[in-house]
Amino acid sequence: MIRSGADVPEGFELDADVCIVGSGAGGGVAAALFAEAGRDVVVLEEGPHVPGAQMTQREEQMYDRMWRDGGNQTTTDGAVSVLQGRVVGGSTVVNMADIEPVPAEILAHWRSRFGLTRWAEGDVREADDACRAVIGANVIPESSLNRNNAKLLEGGRKLGVEGGTFEHNRVGCVGSGYCLVGCAYDAKRSVAVTWIPRALATGRALVQSEARVERIEHDGRRVTAVHGSVVRPADSRALAPFTVRAKHFVLAAGAVHTPVLMLGSGIGGALVGRNLSLQPQTPCVALFPDEVVLFRGIPQSAWIHLEGRSEAEGLGGFRLEGVSSTPGMSAAMSALPTSEIHAFMSRYRQVAACLCLVPDRPSGEVVRARSGRPEIRYTLTDDVKHRMKEAVRLAARAWLAAGAEQVMLPFPDATPVRREADLAQLDRLSIRTASTAMISAHPQGTCRMGADPRTSVVDLRGFVHGIENLQVLDASLFPTTASTHTMLPVMSFAWLGTREVVG
């Protein structure tokens, strides 16, 4: 069953075979597989349980209810908004539902550079297929594209740039466009409507929502319990204590909060929190002479790209992805001065937008502040800045080729682009801290996987080095950026890691 904080006003103590912290892409998969293997499972989720019937499609309500810090979690310098779900089902409830596997070149890079040899590419693809089947993966046909995404593809083709449509986990999509604030129609096959129900169907799983884990109790060799507080969802205020004891523990709280919990518990060694990748994205917005209506239909369904990956380097280039968001987020990400936002929003039906995604090398860290909250420290390297500007240049060219009357670059000193010659200004524009709108929906790498405890936090099965009953099964174990959207990669690595225990 799924239990809320209101069901345990005095707190609780539980014993289980397996305790899982986090209910998203990693935790949900682990919960289902452990429960189906006959283990008694407790899943602890800090956020509330929000079924589709409670998703109001009101951004001022749903961001606060289902997003970490109401969608306002940022790096310490305010440069990058780090977007994460905080709800039963995790970020899979509020993401854009895109499905991408880890590219073969990245897997080869991880094998050759970091020694990830236990799981061959065939093992990863088997896990990919198993997870795809559960979440209803299917390719988005071009006939289902809204005009925003279709215009991006059109512009790319006119420029001779490769493009295509994403695979996604929507089944029976009605095209409401409210993906970022939850699917009220349960068409998005998130963890909350797939893996969690599978776990619950065994009768061996309990999902405790509104339960924040604050400390891991251990003896240096084994974890014995986790302790925390039942919280009030509205403000995360601690209401009552809880303790869960188990034989096996899984951390799946994400690349920001898994390391914070480990750091606060003196576990995992000196590299915990290091090697953070954010894979930053910046918007490029265009204004068309006729209606686009980007906020209806499948928000993020098409891409064009100019990128290169190799076993030696692991990543490169960038990708442009059609995107939309709710009006408030759109205004906030517009990079326009306050005096111009009203005019921009008055023509919102004529706006088109894409995100310029730039895979990065690890250049950040997560540390634990005295308050217990995370501090996300991140440096935007010169290489990423260069590739981001080139991505914006291509995006603007694509929008112009598709018929846009003007393109607004994501830099406060930029002037509207009406012809390609106007893009010469990119040579003098700079990406400055907290001045260029950037988001990250794919934090990774803060508990790096590897064979050598001197250079990694977890071993090749996902176990924390030196701790025999604690696994990390979320994006924090990736050695570098997966160079993709991370939902499927996290699910697949959680599938593989759980299978290491249950067979």
Note the pLDDT of residue 488: 98
Asked if residue 447 and residue 300 are part of one domain, the reply reads no
Q: 89, 27 in Cβ contact below 8 A?
A: no
Note the pLDDT of residue 334: 66
Asked if residue 248 and residue 101 are part of one domain, the reply reads yes
Is residue 206 in a domain?
A: yes
Asked if residue 91 and residue 163 are part of one domain, the reply reads no
Question: Helix or strand or coil: residue 360?
Answer: coil
Asked if residue 306 and residue 258 are part of one domain, the reply reads no
Query: Which of the listed residues 432, 459, 475 is the one where a domain comes to its end?
Result: 432
Residue 224 burial by Cβ neighbours in a 10 Å radius (0-12, 13-18, 19+): middle
Asked if residue 447 and residue 303 are part of one domain, the reply reads no
Phi and psi, residue 241, nearest 5°: -85, 160
Asked if residue 425 and residue 454 are part of one domain, the reply reads no
Note the pLDDT of residue 198: 98
Is residue 31 in a domain?
A: yes
Asked if residue 18 and residue 94 are part of one domain, the reply reads yes
Torsion angle, CA of 258/263/268/274, rounded to 10 degrees? 70
Q: Which domain holds residue 33?
A: 2-136+179-275+441-502
- CATH number assigned to the domain comprising residue 246: 3.50.50.60
Note the pLDDT of residue 435: 82
Asked if residue 118 and residue 69 are part of one domain, the reply reads yes
Note the pLDDT of residue 5: 96
Global pTM reads: 0.96
Asked if residue 321 and residue 296 are part of one domain, the reply reads yes
Give 184's DSSP letter: T
Query: Which of the listed residues 432, 458, 493 is the one where a domain comes to its end?
Result: 432
- Longest C-alpha distance within the chain, in Å? 67
Asked if residue 447 and residue 428 are part of one domain, the reply reads no
Is residue 366 in a domain?
A: no
The residues pairing with 232 across neighbouring beta strands, listed in sequence order, are 237
| Residue 92 Cα distances to 19, 163, 182, 494, angstroms | 20, 25, 9, 14
Asked if residue 354 and residue 289 are part of one domain, the reply reads yes
Measured between alpha carbons, how far is 381 from 376 in angstroms, rounded to an integer? 16
| Residue 84 Cα distances to 189, 233, 268, angstroms | 18, 15, 23
Nearest to 344 by CA among 355, 358, 354, 333: 333
Q: How confident is the model at residue 301 (pLDDT cuts 50, 70, 90)?
A: very high
Is residue 86 in a domain?
A: yes
Count the alpha carbons within 13 Å of 158 in the hemisphere toward its beta carbon: 16
Number of structural domains in the chain: 2
If you count DSSP H runs as helices and E runs as strands, how many of each does the chain have, helices first? 11, 21
- CATH number assigned to the domain comprising residue 404: 3.30.410
Helix (H) or strand (E) holding 109: helix 104-114
Give 463's DSSP letter: B
Is residue 342 in a domain?
A: yes
Q: Is the pLDDT of residue 279 over 80?
A: yes
Average pLDDT along the chain = 95
Query: What is the per-residue pLDDT across 64-102, written as a single tens digit (0 to 9) for each?
Result: 999 999 999 999 999 999 999 999 999 999 999 999 999
Q: Is the pLDDT of residue 62 over 90?
A: yes
Asked if residue 158 and residue 107 are part of one domain, the reply reads no
Query: What is the per-residue pLDDT across 438-468, written as a single tens digit (0 to 9) for each?
Result: 999 999 999 999 999 999 999 999 999 999 9
Is residue 370 in a domain?
A: no
Q: Is the pLDDT of residue 306 over 80?
A: no
Query: What is the per-residue pLDDT across 390-444, written as a single tens digit (0 to 9) for each?
Result: 999 999 999 999 999 999 999 888 999 999 999 999 999 988 877 888 999 999 9
Nearest to 174 by CA among 184, 164, 165: 184
Is residue 480 in a domain?
A: yes
Q: Quick one: three-class SS letters along 187-231?
A: CECCHHHCHHHHHHHCCCEEEECCEEEEEEEECCCCEEEEEEEEE
Query: What is the per-residue pLDDT across 212-255, written as a single tens digit (0 to 9) for each?
Result: 999 999 999 999 999 999 999 888 999 999 999 999 999 999 99
Is residue 376 in a domain?
A: no
Count of all residues that appear for the chain in the document: 503
Nearest to 408 by CA among 399, 342, 328, 325: 399
